C-alpha cells in the first residue's frame, strides 16, 4: 500500500499472526487495514480484506491451499497474502491478490 501507516498495520498483523493465529484479532486488524485501504481508494485491498475476514470468520483459519497449489514456498496462505498486499503497486502482485480473491469467493459462495 502507499501509506506508511497502512504498511505498518500489515506488518503488525503479520507479526501477530505468525506468533498465534487468533481469528478474532486477525479479523479486527483486517478491518482496520480495510479502512486504510478505503482512505487510499484501493478497491482491490478493500475487497480482499473483507473477503479474507469473512473466510476467517467462517473457517477459523486462512488455509486456502493457494500457496501449495502454486508451489510458492514455505509460507502460509495468510503470510503470502500479506506480502502481496505490502507490494500491491506491482501489477503481478495485484493480479495474484485477485486470484486469491476469486478462490475465496468460490469457497464462500
Ranges of each domain in the chain? 4-108
DSSP 3-state of 48: helix
Q: How many residues does the chain have?
A: 109
User: What letter would DSSP give residue 26?
Assistant: H
Separation CA 26–CA 4 (nearest Å): 20
Helix (H) or strand (E) holding 82: helix 77-86
Nearest to 65 by CA among 48, 78, 49: 78
Give Cα 80 to chain centroid, integer Å.
8
C-beta separation of 26 from 17 below 8 A: yes
Residue 43 banded pLDDT, cuts 50, 70, 90: very high
pLDDT at 2 over 90: no
pLDDT at 77 over 90: yes
More confident: 46 or 1: 46
Which cell is 106 given? 468460490
pLDDT in the model for residue 100: 97
Per-residue model confidence as pLDDT tens digits over 58-71: 999 999 999 988 88
Nearest to 51 by CA among 72, 70, 77, 69: 77
pLDDT in the model for residue 69: 85
pLDDT in the model for residue 50: 98
Amino acid at each position: 500500500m502507499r501509506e506508511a501507516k497502512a504498511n505498518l498495520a500489515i506488518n503488525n498483523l503479520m507479526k501477530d499472526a505468525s506468533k498465534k493465529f487468533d481469528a478474532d484479532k486477525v479479523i479486527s486488524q483486517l478491518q482496520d487495514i480495510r479502512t486504510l485501504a478505503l482512505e487510499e481508494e484501493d478497491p482491490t485491498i478493500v475487497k480482499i480484506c473483507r473477503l479474507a475476514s469473512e473466510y476467517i470468520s467462517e473457517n477459523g483459519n486462512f488455509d486456502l491451499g493457494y500457496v501449495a497449489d502454486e508451489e510458492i514456498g514455505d509460507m502460509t496462505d495468510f503470510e503470502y497474502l500479506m506480502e502481496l498486499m505490502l507490494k500491491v503497486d506491482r501489477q503481478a502482485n495485484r493480479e495474484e491478490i485477485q486470484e486469491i480473491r476469486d478462490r475465496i469467493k468460490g469457497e464462500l459462495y
